[in-house]
Amino acid sequence: MTEEFNPKVEYTKNVARMEKELRYIAGIIKQQGRKILSNYTITPPQFIALQWLFEEGDMTIGELSNKMYLAFSTTTDLVDRMENNNLVKRVRDQKDRRVVRIHLLGEGERIIEEVIEKRRMYLNSVLTNFDEDEVENFTHLLGKLHEEMMKD
């Protein structure tokens, strides 16, 4: 099944270059993220799960598996390991006792905050040769690109 895109702007060499640069940047970010995570006792998928819980709050395993694009059983195993490491705990929903939510514990929150801070420090070091206007424009354009991508 092939998706069709109806671009407003004709395909250009700039679009090809943007795609390539974004792909390379994504790879570097992933590599740097893994390097930072190597100092912690969590795996990259656990980091992603902790990030979702940190940003969105308590959620069910089903909700988390949908956000991570993982099978329910895979997410259950992931949560089991994080619970064994005291990063999260399962709690009953106050409104519906049949529902079990995953709750981020203090240690999980601490790790997320530390890792995100180290990632920001890395990005800050990369941007040292950008002037203030370039950083502001780049931030604006990234936000705009993100908004457009979220429409799909």
Give the pLDDT confidence score for residue 6 in this predicted structure: 66
Q: Residue-wise over 73-97: b if at least 16 C-beta within 10 A, else e?
A: eebeebbeebbeeebbeeeeeeeee
Give the pLDDT confidence score for residue 7 in this predicted structure: 64
Per DSSP, 1 falls in state -
Residue 61 near residue 74, CB atoms below 8 Å: no
Q: What is the residue type of 115?
A: V
Query: pTM here?
Result: 0.83
pLDDT-based confidence at residue 73 (cuts at 50, 70, 90): very high
pLDDT-based confidence at residue 13 (cuts at 50, 70, 90): confident
Spatial distance between the Cα atoms of 35 and 121, rounded to a whole number of angstroms: 13
Residue 123: alpha-carbon gap to chain centroid: 15
DSSP string, 86-151: TSEEEEE-SS-TT-EEEEE-HHHHHHHHHHHHHHHHHHHHHGGGS-HHHHHHHHHHHHHHHHHHHT
Residue 64 near residue 49, CB atoms below 8 Å: yes
Q: Is the pLDDT of residue 51 over 60?
A: yes
Q: What is the pLDDT of residues 93-110, one digit of tens each?
A: 889 999 999 999 999 999
Q: Is the pLDDT of residue 39 over 80?
A: yes
In the chain, % of residues over pLDDT 90? 87
The listed CATH number (3.20.20.60, 1.25.40.80, 1.10.10.10, 3.20.20.150) that belongs to domain 35-150: 1.10.10.10
pLDDT-based confidence at residue 152 (cuts at 50, 70, 90): confident
